[in-house]
Amino acid sequence: MDINRLAHDAKRASRRLAGAPSTTKNEALAEMADALERRMGEILQENAEDVADGRRKGLSSAELDRLLLDETRVRAMAESLRLIIALPDPVGEVVEGWRTPEGLEIQKKRVPFGVIAVIYEARPNVTVDAAALCLKTGNSVILRGGGDAYHSNRLLADVITGAVLDAGLPGEAIQFVASRERDVLLDLLQLVGVVDLVIPRGGEELKRFVVDNSRVPVVYAAGGNCHVYVDRAADLRQALAVTVNAKVQHPGACNSAETLLVHRAVAAEFVPRVVHELLERKVKLHVDPATLELLGDIAARVGTATDREYATEFLALEMAVKVVESLDEALEHIERFGTGHSEAIVTRDLEAARRFTDEVDAAAVYVNASTRFTEGGVFGMGAEIGVSTQKLHARGPLALKELTSTKYVVLGSGHVR
């Protein structure tokens, strides 16, 4: 396929989209939601083909779950579009303004980036979420999904592009890369001046590939190797609830906890309880020798943790456990193995909480709460493309405001310098 032509078509469409009124963009989003529900049968049929292919390839149950669409999930996608309609349009917002001593009026306003390429893996809902968020913010979007969800993504892109056309906006504003070839992706990443921003959403391998090969600016919504640290001053009932929720509630999410760290002072009391609860919920555990010594009869039901397990984002009912001697050791472990996504401490010690929130380098840091809350919708920001684990230009959920840039508009009355 001609990726250069596709990108230039998106660029031309972005100029029209940048000036589109909120009412027209919202109309397009409503059309997209209705079209998803109207074409439900086709979507599920294409997704069933992807899932069958995935089973033949030997994808894990967690990978198949991320790939699967059913009526509930498709309706949830449609509902998320309607929620985006209700959110304020950030384009044109005056972030700040002032008047200079010379009488110039300066406004800092939010504007679209232009063309955003979103490169993602197995989740078909990203096709809809990314397109909707880019449309609302006046950006054209180039969608390059993973091969495992190819049939689902291709049809979803067709459905939402048709809805955009029905609303009177340029269909070229949504571009689907109908190729699984790596060379096409490499060509896309070289289009400086045409593509304005690349957002990879997926695991560390995808992030590294895009960062290493892109000449276009990148904001990565990467994976999360997240931790729960149970401090010596923890309320152990809270600690149990937070740990189980962070691991079990949605283990395939990037904000689920992958490693539990427990202070030595409470390990003898807490570790057997939490291990028992996790095993009851079918969590496969990898533990260090200090943890193993505390488990008694259930020691035979766990495996051994090495650096490999501590560095792994399982995205499944699987978790590593380690007893640490101090808050300092917990911080060092997180610094070594964490990916900068979401980290949690359970403690009643205000100084320990302050140190943890100050010293942990992550997009979201929790005190006495589960890491599972790191999400644009939960934060009150609406839908998101993903969670940025870097620091420029945005960190945390990539929602509407994070998909805009700014420009300065300067108003004068014949001013010269």
Tens digits of residue pLDDT in 80-112: 999 999 999 999 999 999 999 999 999 999 999
- Write down the pLDDT at residue 374: 96
Fold annotation for 226-373:
Aldehyde Dehydrogenase; Chain A, domain 2 (3.40.309)
Rounded to two decimals, the pTM is 0.90
Instruction: List pLDDT tens digits, range 63-83.
Output: 898 899 999 999 999 999 999
Question: Residue ranges per domain, the chain?
Answer: 3-221+385-411, 226-373
3-state secondary structure of 253: coil
pLDDT surpasses 80 at 122: no
Tell me the CA end-to-end span of the chain in Å, nearest whole number: 50
Please, where are the H alpha helices in 68-191?
Answer: 71-86, 125-136, 150-166, 182-188
pLDDT at 1: 79
- For residues 11 and 112, the answer to whether their CB atoms sit within 8 Å is no
Lowest mean pLDDT among 136-145, 360-369, 391-400: 391-400
* Cα pseudo-dihedral 203, 205, 211, 213, rounded to 10: -140
CA angle centred on 379, ends 376 and 380, rounded to 5°: 90
Edge-to-edge order in the sheet of strand 105-112:
94-99, 105-112, 404-411
CA atoms of 224 and 262, how far apart (whole Å): 20
Q: For residue range 255-305, what is the model confidence (pLDDT) as tens digits?
A: 999 999 999 999 999 999 999 999 999 999 999 999 999 999 999 999 999
- Span 366-399, pLDDT tens digits: 999 999 999 988 998 877 888 999 888 899 999 9
CATH topology of domain 3-221+385-411: Aldehyde Dehydrogenase; Chain A, domain 1 (3.40.605)
2: helix, coil or strand?
A: coil
Do domains 3-221+385-411 and 226-373 share one topology? The answer is no
Q: Are 83 and 382 in contact (CB under 8 A)?
A: yes
Residue 353 has pLDDT above 80, yes or no: yes
> For residue 299, which phi and psi values (nearest 5 degrees)?
-60, -30
* C-alpha triplet 384, 36, 398: angle, nearest 5°: 5
- Mean pLDDT of the 1-15 span: 96
